[in-house]
Structure 1
Amino acid sequence: MNKLLKMTIGLPALLAVSLAFGVANAETLSLYTSQPDADAAKTVEAFRKVNPDIEVQVYRSGTSDILGKLAAEFSAGATQADVLLIADAVSMEGLKKQGKLQSYEKANVEGFDKDSYDAQKTYFGSKLITTGIAYNSAATSKPEHWADLAKPEYKGMIVMPSPLYSGAAAYLLSGFVGNSELGWGYFDKLKANETVAVRGNGAVLKSVASGEKPYGILVDFMALNAKAKGSPVEFVFPSEGVPAVTEPVAIMAGSKNLPAAQKFVDFILSDDGQKLALEQGYLPAKPSIGRPSWLPEGVQVKVMPIETLKVLEATDADKAKFSEMFGG
Structure 2
Amino acid sequence: MTRILMLTTALSATAFAAQAQTLTIYTSQPQEQMTEVIAAFNKDHPDISVDIFRSGTTEVMAKLQAEFAAGQSPADVLLIADAVAMTQLKQDDRLMAYPEAPVDGIDPALLDADATFFPTKLITTGIVYNTDLVDSPPTSWADLATPEAAAMTIMPSPLYSGAAAIHVGTMVQQPEFDWTYFEALSDNGAVAGQGNGTVLEAVARGEKAYGVLVEYMAMNAKAQGSPVDFVFPSEGVTAVTQPVAIMAGTDNADAARAFVDWQLSEAAQAQSVAQGYFPLRDGMAAPEGYPDPASLTLIGADNARLLSDGEAVKMEFSDLYGG
Structure 2 equivalent of residue 78 of structure 1: 72
Give the conservation status (yes or no) of the 8 Å contact 2:24–2:77.
Answer: yes
The answer to whether the aligner puts 1:195 opposite 2:207 as a matched pair is no
Q: Does residue 1:34 correspond to 2:36, yes or no?
A: no
State the partner residue of 1:253: 248
Among 31, 44, 48, the alignment partner of 1:54 is 48
- Which of residues 313, 317, 327 in structure 1 aligns to 2:322? 327
Distance 1:150 1:80 in 2: 44
1:252 to partner: Cα distance: 0.6
Match of 2:216 in 1: 221
Change (3 A) 1:326 1:298: closer
The one-character-per-residue Cα deviations of 1:267-287 (angstroms, maximum 9, x if unpaired) are: 000111111111111111112
Deviation string 1:124-151 (CA, Å, 9 cap, x unpaired) is: 0000000001100021442111111111
% identity of equivalent residues: 50
8 A Cα contact 1:116 1:285, kept in partner = no
Aligned-pair CA distance for 1:326: 1.1
Distance 1:72 1:129, change over 3 A: same
Q: Distance in 1 between matches of 2:208 and 2:200?
A: 10
Identify the range of structure 1 (278-287 vs 59-68) with the bigger mean alpha-carbon deviation.
278-287
- Opposite residue 55 of structure 2, the aligned amino acid is S
Secondary structure of the structure 1 residue equivalent to 2:106? coil
Instruction: Provide structure 2 residue ranges, at least 5 long, that are not aligned to the other structure.
Output: 1-13
Q: Aligned to 1:93, which of 87, 98, 121?
A: 87
Whichever residue aligns with residue 311 of structure 2, its letter is D
Look up the match of 1:137.
131
What do the CA deviations read for 1:241-275 (whole angstroms, capped 9, x no partner)? 11010000000111111111100000000111111
Whole-angstrom CA distance in 2 between matches of 1:83 and 1:148: 40
Q: Corresponding residue for 1:281? A: 276
CA distance in 1, matches of 2:69, 2:139: 45
Query: Contact 1:249–1:265 at 8 Å: present in 2 too?
Result: yes
Give the conservation status (yes or no) of the 8 Å contact 2:199–2:213: yes
Structure 1 equivalent of residue 3 of structure 2: none
Cα deviations by residue, 1:267-315 (Å, 9 ceiling, x for unpaired): 0001111111111111111122321112254871111111111111111
Aligned AA (2:282): P
Contact kept, 8 Å, 2:286 with 2:293, in 1: the verdict is: no
* TM-score, normalization by structure 1: 0.91
Q: Distance in 2 between matches of 1:154 and 1:289?
A: 36
**Gap change, CA 1:267 and 1:137, over 3 Å in 2:** same
For the pair shown, the structure with the greater C-alpha radius of gyration is: 2
Show the counterpart of 1:177: 172
Cα distance between partner residues in 2 of 1:298 and 1:319: 30
The TM-score, its normalising length taken from structure 2, stands at: 0.92
- Deviation of residue 69 (structure 1)? 0.6
Q: Provide the secondary structure at the position in 1 that maps to 2:309.
A: helix
Q: Which amino acid aligns with 1:323?
A: S
Separation (CA, whole Å) in 2 of partners of 1:23 and 1:210: 51
Please state if 1:168 is matched with 2:163: yes
Cross-structure match for 1:128: 122
Structure 1: state its 5+ residue gaps: 1-20
Contact 1:224–1:235 (8 Å) recurs in 2 = yes
Alignment deviations for residues 206-247 of structure 1 (CA, whole Å, 9 cap, x no partner): 111111111000001111121122211111111111101000
Distance in 2 between the 1:269 and 1:322 partners? 34
Contact conserved, 2:141 with 2:234, CA < 8 A, in 1? Answer: no
Paired amino acid for 1:148: D
CA distance in 1 between counterparts of 2:135 and 2:309 reads 37
Are the equivalent residues in 1 in contact too, given 2:25–2:79 (CA < 8 A)?
Answer: yes
* Cα RMSD, aligned residues only: 1.7
Question: How far, CA to CA, are the matches of 2:88 and 2:15 in structure 1?
Answer: 41
4+ residue runs over 3 A deviation: 21-25, 296-299
Amino acid at match of 1:284: P
| 2:147–2:189 CA contact under 8 A, matched in 1 | no
SS of corresponding position for 2:139: coil
- Deviation of residue 178 (structure 1)? 1.0
